[in-house]
Chains A and B, each alone.
Chain A
């Protein structure tokens, strides 16, 4: 009797939060990054624009530097640690905002295409195809050239990479669910499109959307840092991890730390997010498996 009950209960649900150590470390790093971004003002020993021309090119502590500038200083004597802290804030903020705009816009387009079908559907899917036919970085660079750079536009441009994936996801779901009995029933009861989408379709797809957003995030970070690295994204006196690398590139021979330290931060961020995203996908949404 007991045996039978055990065998009936056992496979129902696995522990939802059994994280392998690597994933735990990745998640921990990401949480730390968000915290750093939130309290950047408290953490940074100096302001990120404070120059000390008497203390230029100081090496980090582990390469013979001193405690006044733990991670050294750059070509203008600015404290690298403080600059990295503020750069984490701006890079994460842009990536989060970009991801959010892309996800909301893409999902709305997908729902519109799936619900309205016909010409709307055709148009949206043509746009999705066209988006996939243009290299993301090329598109971003072109838009920056035509419209000039300001931070608001920059966030929108960064959000462009990936909106098509949310659209495919949302449209696919709507098309497959449209014919199902519960939607027919809800509609027969007089529910409008907005109610059907928000109350009945959206909850079905939230997990997939979150996974997609997590998997997209590293790409968004890379797009922002790449553009800033090329000197066409975040402009001084603003700061970004990519911009720091771009500036440090000129001093590689004498002061490698200016470029390498922020590079490590970007790398660890994208690595952690990829690991965490893969894990989340395997946990929440097996249907997406292998599409990364």
Chain B
């Protein structure tokens, strides 16, 4: 078990290292970092000062070392917009995106899981078809279009919900819905596949043969076994939530990570862009590591090293 964890932890660190190196590489490919990372109107002597400060006159490998060191210390540079450290600007948005992302994930689970599981139980029946039709609708609709339709309906036509802002919990409703519905569609489909796969296994037939009632078969025997693939899928969902947040937060003026990224890209505020992408990667890697730990807890077979090796790579 420790070995499995160590392997996963090592991979997580490696992935982070690759992403940080990729950002370093992209920054060097894009041109002179002092030109890119400093506002256009910076006087030449200030640029020269920063070149020495950042060690741009040093050999490339030394630059890379310094870069790694500063990232490790949380130093991502200073925002062009307000001269504050980029990390502080990013940190401010995290609770907002966390609140939005988690509530969307919860809602998606609440809709998607029962829908997918009941579709699998009534395989090929009318309920299955209806559930899968709504699922494919859910994940095909562009998030920004869904958001606009919700604004038209609830904010402009019915006038019951605010279309922008983040002051109260009421402001949370529409962004959450917009982010959650496509996720719920994907989740329902995946839950259906995972449940169907388990229901086809011989042990389920054995349990049924023992005379366990149908609901008991589903809740006690099928679901715990379908939990592992679902958990893996949740790791992927985090990425979709983050990507979706860029669009949803922009539409509903929700001051989170995604909106900060979009605004910073428009302003070409590169220190903030760099901080956002690295923090987002960090969140992804961390949540995938968390998924792996939960995986061990759910699936004791991983306790042995052989089990860990034959476990799915994702």
Binding site for B on A (CB under 8 A): 126-127, 129-130, 132-139, 141-147, 218, 222, 225-226, 229-232, 242, 245-246, 249, 252-253, 256, 259-260, 263-264, 266-267, 270-271, 274-275, 278, 289-290, 292
Contact = CB atoms under 8 A, between A and B. Distances in A.
Contacts of A290: 190, 193-194, 197
B104 interface: no
Given A130-B18, A141-B261, A267-B141, A136 B266 contact: no
Main secondary structure of the interface of A (DSSP, over half): helix
A129 B22 CA distance: 13
Contacts of A292: 189
Given A126-B18, A249-B148, A271-B140, A146 B36 contact: yes
Contacts of B30: 146-147
Given A146-B27, A252-B156, A135 B284 contact: yes
Given A225-B142, A232-B266, A249-B251, A135 B26 contact: no
Contacts of B194: 290
A130 B281 CA distance: 9
A226 B26 contact: no
Please provide the 5 A-B residue pairs with the shortest distance between their CB atoms, ordered closest to farther: A290-B193, A137-B243, A263-B145, A271-B140, A135-B242
Interface string B263-291: 01110101001101100110011001000
Given A127-B18, A138-B261, 16 more contacts: A126-B15, A126-B18, A132-B239, A135-B243, A136-B243, A137-B242, A138-B243, A142-B26, A226-B142, A226-B143, A230-B246, A245-B145, A253-B156, A259-B148, A260-B152, A270-B142
Q: Most chain-A Cβ atoms within 10 A of its Cβ — which of B16, B148, B149?
A: B148
Q: Most chain-B Cβ atoms within 10 A of its Cβ — which of A218, A253, A275, A290?
A: A290
Main secondary structure of the interface of B (DSSP, over half): helix
Contact of B277 (A126, A134, A222, A278): A134
Contacts of A246: 144
Nearest to B193: A290
Nearest to B246: A137
